[in-house]
Amino acid sequence: MSFLGNLSAGAPKQKMYLSVTPGVGLEMIQLDTATGSVANYAVRDLVYDEATRDIADYDAFKDAVQEMMQELGIGPKCEAIVNMPLVSFGLMQFPLLLPDTSITGGIQSEVEQSYVFRRAEPVIAWQDVPSAGNSQAQGNESRQVIYSAIQKSVISSIGEALASIEVSLVGVENSLTSTLRALDFAGYTEAQMQPNTTWNLLIINSAGYSIVSLSGKTIVDYYEEPLAVKSFTGDELYNAINQSAQIALMSSPANYLFILSDTDQVSASLLASKLQTQSSVTVLENNSFKEQDGIIPVGLNVLPNYASKISLQAVGVALADASDYPLNMQFPGTSSAAAVAESCTFNIGEKEITLTANAAMKLVGIFAAALMLPIVLLAFLILPKMIESNQTKLDTVNNDIKAIDEEIAQYQAAQGAKVFNVKKEIENGVKGNRSKLMNYVAAGEAIPKTVWLTYFMTQGDGLVDIKGVASNVEDVYVFFKNMRDSLIGTKLRLQTLEMTSASVDEAVSSSPNTNYNFEITNMSTDQLSALLSVVNQNGENKDANQNQQPQQNNNQNKPPQSGLLSEQPIQENK
């Protein structure tokens, strides 16, 4: 046996790959990467609590693992990597010179705002965004990172359950990383993952949906929208996802849109037929709607009724040690490979030397330190100059931060005891703008050709007031019904509907060319009165009834001087 062979840790331990997949259960999988197929597979029912983001019963988890190990012929004292549903994921930017420990602390402060981590300590995994999407590569003095987090208690509980059956937990994966890795391996996103190709991945699950914006294989943005999927029935669910996701996709235009459904409540194909997008759309059913042959070929050892149950997440976690996909967000497990006690004996001249694996590791460390010494000395010579050259930039950044802090302090002092929350104000602004945009989009899609609007007012708190004119009553009711169906939950009502004629004689003489004024709103009578008062105070439209009547001359279709069509919009209620 050679010297290097004696230094090795012996035969590697057998590994098994597990995936906790909501809607499927607990999956155990082994891949044949040479043929690109599933070599072995087993599955058991397992309840995952979406509210606490945790396995509901760890005794059931342990029993299921034992049963599947016996079914697939996997012995004890092996190692395991487990895929878990995504708990927290996002992107953040930090100053370029900030050390890694400070970045970890900044990410932890961000994820601790989530309700999950208010009760459980998080474990953080993060990495720099590759150069395709990194702002540093574009010359900015910032560093963008991708992060993910999971409860430390979850990893500990999984490790303890596996340890009780002599299995070592060496790593925990998140479902998004596993999904992207599987899509790449199976070839579903071959066109999308080309360099400099922009695409969006829309993933729907039982807790809502998320949109991952990518350039090739690099994540450049991430958006998540909670949605009570199980509370909707029929087309209501598709309309809710369509209306919400449509706006998010408009802010991230891309060449391709890939729709992936992880829940039996939503068909990716049916959702694709309702979305309006300029992107090339591809769909994949990772649920009960998928074909019986499954998402990936299977070997002869896989039972036929198992093929359709294999999930993308299970395929992805089985590639944890074999894929070269650039995103690697694995959380450390509770066990690491034990130090090997085997030793080797060799002769130097007439002297016999025994070298253990631990001693060999130390010896390698000494050699590495000797090689690194010149590099360290060179760094000490160059580092002071680098610090000096960047000190001015750092001082400028600190001065800017100080100036902003002073402005915030002044604002807080002006507000008295009321604390100004920057993040909350930004979130309120984004939420208000999104509500307004949804109202505009709904009006544009719902209006018939014979209806025109003379007044349109919408506010960030969801209040809407619409006035217009139509050539017949039927189209007024069509427009009203379309708006009510598009803006679910806004409680719109038809406030007024009347002829534009000033008298009955005039209406009879002008028939059938009589037009009809209407008003659609969800505002109360007091709110409408207050809005009219604001208009009158600005000197506009002194008579509210005149605002609703088109002129009977060449200015018949001229809109009133307020609302969306005005040069001076109505101020929002504070």
DSSP for 320-389?
Answer: TTT---S---PEE-S--PPPP--EEEEEETTEEEEEEHHHHHHHHHHHHHHHHHHHHHHHHHHHHHHHHH
Q: What is the dihedral of CA 182, 184, 185, 191, to 10 degrees?
A: 140
Pairing relationship of beta strands 256-261 and 198-205 according to DSSP bridges? parallel
Quote the pLDDT of residue 500: 80
Q: pLDDT tens for residues 512-549?
A: 567 889 988 988 888 888 877 776 666 554 444 444 44
Per-domain residue ranges of the chain:
9-188+295-338, 191-289, 430-565
Show Cβ contacts of residue 435 under 8 Å, excluding neighbours closer than 6 positions. Answer: 458, 459, 460, 461, 462
Q: What local confidence, expressed as pLDDT, does residue 513 receive? A: 67
Q: Are 118 and 110 in contact (CB under 8 A)?
A: no
- Worst-scoring range by mean pLDDT, 161-175, 273-287, 409-423? 409-423
Specify the CATH architecture of the domain 9-188+295-338: 2-Layer Sandwich (3.30)
In 10 A of CB 129, how many CB atoms?
22
What average pLDDT does this structure show over 333-353? 58
pTM over 0.85: no
H or E segment to which residue 453 belongs: strand 451-458
C-alpha 129/C-alpha 326 separation (Å) is: 10
* CATH fold label, 191-289: Nucleotidyltransferase; domain 5 (3.30.420)
Range scoring the smallest mean pLDDT among 65-69, 331-335, 440-444:
440-444
- 102-106, 124-128, 439-443: segment of lowest average pLDDT: 439-443
pLDDT at site 5: 41
Residue 458 pLDDT grade (very low, low, confident, very high; cuts 50, 70, 90): confident
Over 70: is that where the pLDDT of 157 sits? Answer: yes
The mean per-residue pLDDT over the stretch 290-300 comes to 84
Q: Tell me the sheet residues that pair with 222.
A: 212
Give the Cα separation of 255 and 195 in Å (integer): 12
User: Can you name the residues that pair with 519 across neighbouring β-strands?
Assistant: 467, 496
- The CA–CA distances, whole Å, from 467 to 460, 464, 477, 535, 569 equal 19, 10, 13, 15, 15
Poorest-confidence range of 131-140, 167-176, 266-275, 432-441? 131-140
Query: Does 340 have pLDDT greater than 70?
Result: no
